[in-house]
Structure 1
Amino acid sequence: MSDIKLVNLLTLEKRQENIFTGQSWDLGFRALFGGQVLGQALAAARLTVDEDRVAHSFHSYFLLPGDANQDVSFDVEKVRDGKSFSARRVKAIQNGKTLFYMTGSFQKAEQGLQHQLGQMPDVPSADSLTSDISYFEKIKEELPKRLQKAIAYHKPIDTRTVQAIDPVHPDKQTAKRYIWMKSQEQLGGNLSLNQEMLAYASDYHFLATCLQPHGISVRDKNLQIATIDHSMWFHHPFNFDDWLLYCVESPFAGGARGLVRGQFFNTEGTLVASTMQEGLIRLKDES
């Protein structure tokens, strides 16, 4: 399975003017991985924008679960092209139904006022930690068969969680999680591709952070969990073929919903991107 490359997943085929198609990967989840749709939708929007404009933010809603065994079509609407900014609206479609909406904004490079309040926490280096995938390979026989088959599709992103979290029988922990991440592929300084890969990776371990204070596993059969919306802001250029630290916390859960927010820092401590997500978190025996 050496041909499993994330850059291929994010390379879309043009079908018509402003309409593109992307392949799908089955990551062993209950539905199509949300990060895939985020990365591909951002890639679709970028294909309709002038090369001198780079994404600085997107805001999206997940409307229906997707099928990981089918391709996804992306219909891009050119909302506006101004002197400095371009806005795009993207629909992700399967079987004639809209699964997802994204509004993205792109900007020409400009200089301006700068400050950074967010501080990178003091955590062990990525090189001192074991890759998360190695743990799942050790317990492969304990995993559902669908997830066993899908392990190879998780390898393009090397994730290394700072604090140990048992995915089957988790202890109750503070609603914070720190994860080192980087692409296993060389991206050659292509900023747009770096952004699309980070959008993909930003959905890893995100909503699950809401479950930590409750000691509930994402694999709990009584749990219904799904992303409702996801937003992302890009602050500085970065290289995702080098380590980034994803600092995630959940400030609130209630009403069968959970809120998470995240910050990506490079190894120098520069805040390069921020994320927010709300998702459905419902225990079936409480509904």
Structure 2
Amino acid sequence: MNTTAATAPSFPDHAGSTGRLLDLLDVERIEDDLYRGQSTNAGWQRVYGGQVVAQALMAASKTVDPSRLCHSLHSYFIRPGDPAHPIVYRVERDRDGASFTTRRVVAIQKGRAIFNLAASFQVEEAGLSHSFPMPAAPPPEGLQSDAEWAIENADSAPEPFRTIWKTRERPIEFRAVSKLDPFNPVAQPPRAQHWCRAAAPVDVTPPVARALFAYASDMTLLDTALLPHAIAWNNPQLQVASLDHAIWFNATPDLNDWLLFDQDSPMAGGGRGLNRALVYSRSGQPIASVVQEGLMRHRPK
């Protein structure tokens, strides 16, 4: 008789982390037009850029009538954020017009600006409409999630990625159409597709849904510009970081269902790479357009 009991593997609580992410995005009001946000302890040395974009958007949204939703935002990453310290968001009320509201937000940490954002909000209006058709993509059900792939391949990854992959909670589930090994890359055209959705069902207001989307929108873009160059993420000669981030919303994203990020990188040069994504609902409705320029320095010996 075999008396050895099998030990069940311990996996991160991805579903539970979705609720914790919503709590994280609900920035605390300190006083008029001043808010404070915390960070997650995901093992990284700097604050994840999508978190700062989302928290800044939430701070701006809290100063705007709920009937007006963010239709576009433009932001710049100025300094790396320290996840061990809170971030203060200062909102400037630039304009409250008949149809549009404009806000500016500065994220401050240790007395210095680390990020700024300009956002425009609009009352809902009917109007002329058109869009590119949704591109062909295999359905997400037949694809492996990034979290599952990371757990399976963690032992072959270098540190600190090995530990982070095994322990990091992922409140947003991503499924890449083409799965790539970031430590053994092969040069290919700068195009990629990813499905994404919340790791657990969410019941949120439209402003929170847009902030949750903003959080997710920074996950995969910068990878696209690296595809033609076949440089591993842990290459010591490579320096990458998000420089700016812009989103145009066509509709309120529903992360209870799958969204398709259809990404490309039209150019890279001067130590920077430009990345774009058209985002569609599963039914083919255009949801958002995202553009990001990233620092992409390669310094061979």
Report the TM range for the smaller structure's normalisation.
over 0.9
Aligned-partner Cα distance in 2 for 1:11–1:70: 17
Q: Pick from 118, 133, 148: which aligns with 2:147?
A: 133
Higher mean C-alpha deviation, range 147-156 or range 120-129: 147-156
Name the counterpart of 1:161.
Answer: 176
Partner-residue secondary structure (3-state), 2:42: coil
2:117 matches 1:96: no
CA contact (8 A) 1:225 1:282 kept: yes
After superposition, the C-alpha distances for 1:195-225 in whole angstroms (9 at most, x for unaligned) are 1111111101111111100111222221111
2:54 matches 1:70: no
Q: Pick from 137, 162, 173: which aligns with 1:123?
A: 137
Name the counterpart of 2:57.
Answer: 42
Paired letter, 1:98: A
Any gaps of 5 or more consecutive residues in structure 1?
Answer: none
Aligned-partner Cα distance in 1 for 2:24–2:168: 11
Q: 1:153 to 1:49 in 2, by over 3 A?
A: farther
Aligned-partner Cα distance in 2 for 1:148–1:68: 18
2:89 matches 1:106: no
CA contact (8 A) 2:71 2:249 kept: yes
Aligned-partner Cα distance in 2 for 1:179–1:119: 17
After superposition, the C-alpha distances for 1:37-93 in whole angstroms (9 at most, x for unaligned) are 011110010000011111100000111011122221100010100011110000011
CA RMSD of aligned residues (A): 1.6
Aligned-partner Cα distance in 1 for 2:59–2:93: 11
* TM-score, normalisation: structure 1: 0.94
* TM-score, normalisation: structure 2: 0.90
Any gaps of 5 or more consecutive residues in structure 2?
Answer: 1-11
Aligned-partner Cα distance in 2 for 1:257–1:281: 5
Partner-residue secondary structure (3-state), 1:210: helix
Paired letter, 2:299: K
After superposition, the C-alpha distances for 1:150-183 in whole angstroms (9 at most, x for unaligned) are 6554421000000121111111111011000001
2:228 matches 1:205: no
Paired letter, 1:87: T
CA contact (8 A) 2:75 2:117 kept: yes
Aligned-partner Cα distance in 2 for 1:40–1:147: 28
Partner-residue secondary structure (3-state), 1:77: strand
CA contact (8 A) 1:58 1:104 kept: yes
Offset of 1:147 from its aligned partner? 5.9
Aligned-partner Cα distance in 1 for 2:170–2:238: 26
Q: 1:84 to 1:153 in 2, by over 3 A?
A: farther
Q: Pick from 232, 235, 251: which aligns with 1:217?
A: 232
Aligned-partner Cα distance in 1 for 2:26–2:158: 30
CA contact (8 A) 2:213 2:253 kept: no
Paired letter, 1:44: A
Higher mean C-alpha deviation, range 54-63 or range 233-242: 233-242
Question: Larger Cα Rg: Structure 1 or Structure 2?
Answer: 2
Higher mean C-alpha deviation, range 143-152 or range 25-34: 143-152
Aligned-partner Cα distance in 2 for 1:113–1:211: 37
